[in-house]
Amino acid sequence: MNIKEAKAIPLLELLARLGHKPTHTRGSAIWYRSPLRGENTPSFKVDAIKNVWFDFGLGRGGTNIDLVQALYGEDTRRTLGRIADLVNGLVAPLELMPTVPIPREVSVPEIIGNREIADQRLVQYLLRERHIPIDLARVYLRELEYRVGERTYTALGFQNRSGGFELRNSIWKGCIGRKDITTFEQPERKDLVAFEGVFDFLSALAFHASTTPSANVLVLNSVAMVERAGEYIATREIDRITTYFDHDEAGARARARLLELHANVRVHDGSGLYQGHNDFNDFWKTLSRQR
């Protein structure tokens, strides 16, 4: 996991995995009793849209990384590993600071609309920023309307195996529901292609001028999900995996981990196709502009 990926994890999800529940909400501000100290009156605010926090009792705030560093007192490298383990459920939450009982449950981001993509802001985001044909996008993505407190928002939704949705629009990315991988199975095939994110997957389909994959497909939705991907692959009769991960350290680590988990399976690095580009979507956008 790298810094960009760690910062993209919804703070609400990270706090839930650390064992903390909100006490109340006001618009996009969601309030907690501080996880950094004991208190009776909630003074720890999370901005669910900007994905940042501020502890008014301490006079400090920041991102996911800043919070986990403050909790565990570790350097950035260890903190990124800690966040990945928390997301994967590999470590137990810290012992909670003493607090009074939470008086009531409050709403966290919830889906209030699920429909075919029609919002022109989302259509333009797909076409102009991602170069994904709208007809292809409609096969795999939904237009979701969701509520945070009293405000509503619209984003593209990509469903995962656990029923959660990865959310994307031009200014925000996040997740509603449980974080998990997404799979598309071809039972008669023993090969699998793996992508980091949905736009890499859709770019590959667009590149091959297809709407249906010819092999089993696995989308991590975050490189932090590589362990879960390994568990899934172990349940399938797969003899070849081709990875289309980012050209960065996190992508290399994810591929190496799959190789460790499945030493008896051929793991091929397919990222040479887009050498010189960060990921498949960057490659596809460049290719599209040249046509």
pLDDT value of residue 14:
87
pLDDT value of residue 243:
97
Same domain, 58 and 122: no
Asked whether residue 56 is assigned to any structural domain, the reply reads yes
As a whole number of angstroms, the distance between CA 98 and CA 78 comes to: 26
| CATH number of the CATH domain containing 261 | 3.40.1360.10
Same domain, 76 and 13: yes
C-beta atoms surrounding 121 within 10 Å = 12
Asked whether residue 52 is assigned to any structural domain, the reply reads yes
pLDDT more than 90, % of the chain = 47
Asked whether residue 95 is assigned to any structural domain, the reply reads no
As a whole number of angstroms, the distance between CA 184 and CA 217 comes to: 5
Same domain, 126 and 162: yes
pLDDT more than 70, % of the chain = 92
Of the three residues 53, 87, 121, the one that is the final residue of a domain is 87
Same domain, 152 and 256: yes
Per-residue pLDDT at 239 exceeds 60: yes
pLDDT in tens, 51-73: 899 988 777 888 989 898 888 77
Asked whether residue 41 is assigned to any structural domain, the reply reads yes
As a whole number of angstroms, the distance between CA 263 and CA 252 comes to: 16
Asked whether residue 10 is assigned to any structural domain, the reply reads yes
Same domain, 83 and 115: no
Same domain, 117 and 218: yes
Percent helix, strand, coil in the chain (nearest 5)?
Answer: 35, 25, 40
pLDDT band at 119 (very low <50, low <70, confident <90, very high): very high
Same domain, 53 and 155: no
pLDDT value of residue 108:
60
Same domain, 74 and 174: no
Please state the rounded mean pLDDT for residues 94-120. 63
H-only helix segments in the chain: 3-8, 11-17, 64-72, 76-87, 120-124, 134-140, 198-207, 226-234, 249-261, 280-290
pLDDT band at 81 (very low <50, low <70, confident <90, very high): confident
Same domain, 125 and 260: yes
Asked whether residue 106 is assigned to any structural domain, the reply reads no
Asked whether residue 92 is assigned to any structural domain, the reply reads no
Per-residue pLDDT at 175 exceeds 70: yes
Q: What is the overall mean pLDDT for the chain?
A: 86
Structural domain boundaries enclosing 29: 3-87
Higher pLDDT pick, 80 / 88? 80
Same domain, 238 and 119: yes
Please state the rounded mean pLDDT for residues 125-153. 92
Please state the rounded mean pLDDT for residues 10-23. 86
| CATH number of the CATH domain containing 46 | 3.90.580.10
Of the three residues 27, 55, 87, the one that is the final residue of a domain is 87
Per-residue pLDDT at 80 exceeds 70: yes
pLDDT band at 161 (very low <50, low <70, confident <90, very high): very high
Same domain, 78 and 156: no
Asked whether residue 105 is assigned to any structural domain, the reply reads no
pLDDT value of residue 101:
36
As a whole number of angstroms, the distance between CA 171 and CA 156 comes to: 12
pLDDT in tens, 176-220: 888 899 999 998 999 999 999 999 999 999 999 999 999 999 999
Number of compact structural domains in the chain: 2
